C-alpha cells in the first residue's frame, strides 16, 4: 500500500495549519476541535516554536506504508508531512500507516492460508 492510498481513506482531508503567533493553548484547542494530532506551523517565528519539530522528515505519495512506518518508528515521529512535486499534500499519522500495514498483512495472511489449504 502506498501513502496516497492511505490519504484517500482519511476522514479529514487536507492540511490543518496555524499561524506563527499561535499560542500553545490555541494550538491545543485547534487540535481538540479537529480531533487530530498535529498542525503544520506556517512562518518563521512562533509561540509554538519551542515544542515543534525542527528537522521535519517527509514522505512521498508513492512511498510504501512499510517504508514510512520504518522511518517514523526509527525517528520516533507520530506524524509525517506528505510532499508531492514540492508541495505539502497532507500529514499522515502513525495510526494511519499502522492501520494500512495491518490491512496489508491480513490480506497477505489470507492469501498464504489459501495457498496452503488449496483454495
CATH number reported for the structural domain that contains residue 61 in this entry: 3.10.580.10
Tell me the average pLDDT across 105-118. 89
Q: 72-89 in b/e burial notation, b at 16+ Cβ within 10 A?
A: beeeebebbbbbeeeeeb
- Does residue 3 contact residue 59 with C-beta atoms inside 8 Å? yes
Residue 23 pLDDT greater than 50, yes or no: yes
User: Regarding predicted confidence, which is higher, 12 or 19?
Assistant: 19
Question: Residue 21's domain spans which residues?
Answer: 3-117
- Sequence-ordered alpha helix ranges (H) in 50-92: 65-75
- Minimal CA–CA distance to 71: which of 83, 82, 84, 80? 80
Number of residues that make up the chain? 119
Q: What is the mean pLDDT of the chain?
A: 85
Confidence grade of residue 36 (pLDDT, cut at 50, 70, 90): confident
Kindly report which listed range (1-5, 40-44, 98-102, 108-112) carries the lowest average pLDDT score.
40-44
* Predicted local distance difference test score (pLDDT) of residue 71: 94
Kindly report each contact of residues 51-58 with a partner whose C-beta sits within 8 Å and lies 24 or more positions away, as own/partner.
51/24, 53/77, 56/81, 58/82, 58/83
Whether this prediction's pTM lies above 0.75 is answered by: no
Count how many domains the chain has. 1
Residue 42 pLDDT greater than 80, yes or no: no
Name the helix (H) or strand (E) containing 92.
strand 87-93
Amino acid at each position: 500500500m502506498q501513502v496516497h492510498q492511505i490519504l484517500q481513506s482519511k476522514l479529514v482531508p487536507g492540511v490543518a495549519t496555524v499561524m506563527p503567533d499561535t499560542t500553545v493553548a490555541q494550538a491545543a484547542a485547534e487540535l481538540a476541535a479537529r480531533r487530530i494530532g498535529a498542525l503544520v506551523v506556517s512562518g518563521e517565528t512562533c509561540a509554538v516554536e519551542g515544542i515543534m519539530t525542527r528537522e521535519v522528515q517527509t514522505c512521498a505519495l508513492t512511498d510504501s506504508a512499510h517504508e514510512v512506518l520504518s522511518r517514523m518508528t526509527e525517528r520516533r515521529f507520530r506524524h509525517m508531512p506528505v510532499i508531492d512535486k514540492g508541495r505539502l499534500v497532507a500529514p499522515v499519522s502513525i495510526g494511519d500507516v499502522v492501520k494500512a500495514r495491518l490491512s496489508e498483512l491480513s490480506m497477505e495472511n489470507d492469501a498464504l492460508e489459501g495457498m496452503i489449504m488449496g483454495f
